[in-house]
Amino acid sequence: MPSRGRGEGQGGASRPTKIEFVSPDVIVIGAGAIGTSTAYQLAKAGLKVMVLDRGRVGGEATGASAGMIQLNPDRGTPPAFSALGAESARLFTALAAELLERTGIDIGYRRASLLHVTLDEAEEAQLRAHRAWQVDQGMSVGWLDGAAAVDVEPALNPGVRAALLYEDHYQILPRVLAQALARAATDLGAAVLEGAAADRLLIQGDRVVGVAVGGETIRSPETVIANGTWASAWSNTLQTPIPVRPVRGQMVALSTSATPLRHAVSSNSGYVLTKADGSTIVGTTVEEVGFDARPTAAGIAGLLALASRLVPRLADATVLSAWAGLRPGTPDRLPLLGRPPGWDGIVLATGHFREGILLAPITGELVLDLVARRRPRLPLDAFDPGRFLVRAA
């Protein structure tokens, strides 16, 4: 059974054996990027926070992710979502410095200008139209012909026909982000419990009043659901559809002694980038295979082929590891952020699909706004967890 503890383990979390008596102001279920960011913001605001994770801090989708932290919106992206992404990307600069200062942990926040390339003549027109729309929206996007693209990124396949250049893209080390947030929250008095599965929500009338964990109950005036793709499990208890589903993404890490890539290189089929730890990662697949987070032979083969197609010298790299994670997907690709209709004492913060690392800082701040019962700093209507209930009616 879990116990609270401070400052132990890699991420400032404890590997618990027994829960001592605690009465937190807020329980956060899930210690991925979303749960740890939320816990950090709540703890910074002076609230007593308990984070429960049935596994390890950053051990699921967060740890599996590439850690790119920019939205690449297109015509179909709702403006409210673009605003969320832009604000969260902006928050990372200060957050990275703050976490380094508080914890000594470097989350690997680095510029990783993105080159989105095409090797296909037919795709060129598509790329031009995409750029024209983005420029129209005020984004800064460069257009490079093949020779210019190879000039700025000499490792590229010389067959590249054209590329879009996004100078202002950044990346981080996502598992380290979650660990640093957990550590910072712990230092502010939060209890971050690993190996502590929330089994059941405690209900009193129309309020959630706590959580049952391994036969024990922890009471709390507020509970935040931040357990990623597993959040759908609370649908029945809350009598609200929480249509979050697992969408598997596979990744491969390569080691090469060659000069690191200057850019993150992406194409319509996936991406390659050099991380702050020196590895070159290749991603990713988008698969609907249920709760199966294992990489497959076909998935890995596809990624290796993509890597050497985009950057031919990677054919000589050695394979460090392969893994997969389950993104929390939703029917409209938007997160669920807010209180489920008719309920008090509970906030949902899940369904961040392919952007949960990017959106972690703003999500933490918005959940704090909701818990503090003040007006959220950005409009949340588009992310209302009740929207699926309305559609189902």
Ligand X SMILES: Cc1cc2nc3c(=O)[nH]c(=O)nc-3n(C[C@H](O)[C@H](O)[C@H](O)COP(=O)(O)OP(=O)(O)OC[C@H]3O[C@@H](n4cnc5c(N)ncnc54)[C@H](O)[C@@H]3O)c2cc1C
Q: Residues in the site for ligand X, rule: CB under 6 A?
A: 29-35, 52-55, 59-62, 64-69, 197-198, 226-228, 230, 249, 251, 283-284, 325, 327-328, 350, 352-358
Nearer to ligand X, 94 or 125 (CB): 94
CB 360 within 8 A of CB 34: yes
Considering the complex, what minimum distance in angstroms separates the CB of residue 201 from ligand X?
10
The residues facing 50 across adjacent strands are 27, 191
Asked if 169 and 111 touch (Cβ cutoff 8 Å), the reply is: yes
Closest separation between CB of residue 269 and ligand X, Å?
14
Residue 150 or 271 having the CB closest to ligand X: 271
- Identity of the residue, 65 or 150, whose beta carbon is nearer to ligand X in the bound complex: 65
Shortest distance (Å) from residue 337 CB to ligand X: 11
Give me the long-range contacts of 383-386 (CB less than 8 A, separation at least 24): 383/80, 383/84, 383/334, 383/335, 383/336, 383/337, 383/338, 384/336, 384/337, 384/338, 385/240, 385/242, 385/336, 385/337, 385/338, 385/339, 385/340, 385/341, 385/348, 386/240, 386/338, 386/340, 386/341
Nearer residue to ligand X within complex by CB, 130 or 352: 352
Residues 6+ apart with CB under 8 A from 334: 78, 81, 351, 382, 383
Between 3 and 143, name the residue whose CB sits nearer to ligand X: 3
What one-character DSSP code corresponds to residue 224?
A: E
* Residue 96 C-beta: closest distance to ligand X, Å: 15
Q: Minimum distance from CB of 196 to ligand X (Å)?
A: 6
Nearer to ligand X, 148 or 203 (CB): 203
Distance in Å, CB of 121 to ligand X, minimum: 28
